[in-house]
Amino acid sequence: IAGTPKEIVAAYTELTGRPAVPPEWAFGLWASTCFVPFTDASVLEQARRLRAEGIPCDVVNLDCFWQRAQMWCDFEWDTTRIPDPKRLLAELHREGFHTCLWINPYVSIQSALYREGATHGYFLRRPDGSIYHPIVWNQRTERGMGLCAIVDFTNREAASWYRSRLEALLALGADAFKPDFAEEIPDDAVFANGHRGAMMHNPYPLLYQREVFEATRAHADRVVAWSRSAAPGVQRYPGHWSGDPECTFVDLANTLRGGLAAAMSGLAYWSHDIGGFWGDPSPELFVRWAQAGLLSALSRYHGATPRDPWRFGDEALAIFREYAQLRSRLVPYLVSYGWQASEDGVPLMRPMVMEFPDDPAGFAFDLQYCLGRELLVSPVVRADGWVTTYLPRGRWTDWWTSTVHEGPTTLRRQVPLRELPLYVRDDSLVVLGPARSHVGECAADPLTVEAFVTTEAAFILRGDAGTVAFQCRRSRGEVVLEAGATPATVILRLHHAPPVAIVAADGRGLARLDGPGLERGEAGWTVDGPLVVVKARARRIEIR
């Protein structure tokens, strides 16, 4: 399987499995209840506040405390705080949210579920035949699980028993699960297949996540999980997150390095806890982490303490809203790369060495990445706002200012808190959806094509509504955008445009509209300095 990094990942995932495509709502923002007790009232308050603040969000993650404390994981709702789980899940659905429930493969010895599993032999055993009772997850907090048993997924009856609990929650209205843990397997534990823990340590997360993923897929065409541990093959069951970093700028940088290393190992969908997990982030750290998180393959805010953006002040809230809205509009772009990953295994977040294998100058820049082919993301991981970005050979446009940089070049800048350095590669089309509070609110119409074209660019838009091929050519003062069959209105935003004399859509001339708005007609065009904007329901747009 030797080759370029992309060729290696493609060959590796051909052997070990290509990633499934998550549902479109999974590409939106995930809001977590965090690692604190919550009630049905507090969950609904959080969800409604997100809508009131204009923050697009698609998923509410109900973390540990949907179950009774110390009983993790017995799949029993804590009805003292959530008396009617079905009603809560239904209310979240009515407000446009999907739901995710935290789970793990350990069963507390205090629970009735333990007694049931022990009776039927569903847990890992010691060499003497007794049930293994490790102490799990109590080093950092007294609210850990303590003595428990570990489900043996090599025992098909045990796997079916575990899956039946998931199916009951799905029938109640849950949409996804967060399969946490699975890495704490004692070396001398005995599995039903005869192997010891030392051999099964790495395959165990694969078996665990497969059961969760397949149980969910029995209820929906396309599904997602939010897993932590990994081993070869888990890329089949997206997605994964980094675990529990400290709330420091150092941990932000190290988390990003870990995620890009995971991409080199074939994980197409990777994310991290916006703000960090352990501790309380400063407003500046929360913003910088949010900017990186909202431009990752998947996006979720979560922590040991609450991470709702309004808790960090008005400035942080405004910046978070801006990037969450950008992420929401990027969903069609991200989904398209999800479909591509299902065919070639290439991850959505691409380290420089993966996207530019012939440019060794970029290999050392391990804190920046390409999101898809077109976008280069350079997160700020220092408290003082200084960031160094390497731009490979070619022409790059600053997303925020439209400034053009000729690569190869290295930029060292101190950027304001509101800015995450983001650049667009030349000869690129970035397709954005409309502003939506969640992806189910309306169809992706209109579609905005941000065109950065010197000669020729193409992009294949893929999703639930089908496939649309966009191609844009620029030659001798003429620009032509052609689109495959699409029911959507297309807004072409041509950057660095030539002087304009004629604009036509499907051969028909368009009247110029005064002012910046395009809402007054089905079609029109306007000029704003070097930017030409054309709005039309057409398959061919020409600018001369």
Residues marked as catalytic:
180, 183, 244
SS3 content of the chain, % helix, strand, coil (to 5): 30, 25, 45
Give the phi and the psi of residue 271 in degrees, each rounded to 5: -150, -175
Residue 271 contacts by C-beta under 8 Å, 6 or more apart in sequence?
226, 239, 240, 241, 242, 259, 293, 296, 297, 298, 299, 300
CA–CA distance, 515 with 159 (Å, rounded to integer): 63
Peptide bond into 56 cis (omega under 30): no
For the beta carbon of residue 527, count every other beta carbon within 10 angstroms: 15
**50, 99, 121, 230 from 433: Cα distances, Å:** 20, 23, 51, 32
Q: Are 189 and 196 in contact (CB under 8 A)?
A: yes
Find the length of the chain.
544
Q: Are 197 and 148 in contact (CB under 8 A)?
A: no
Q: Are 328 and 361 in contact (CB under 8 A)?
A: no
Structural tokens at position 441: 């609110």
CA–CA distance, 67 with 59 (Å, rounded to integer): 19
- Return the half-sphere exposure (C-beta side, CA atoms, 13 A cut-off) of residue 225: 31
Q: Are 44 and 13 in contact (CB under 8 A)?
A: no
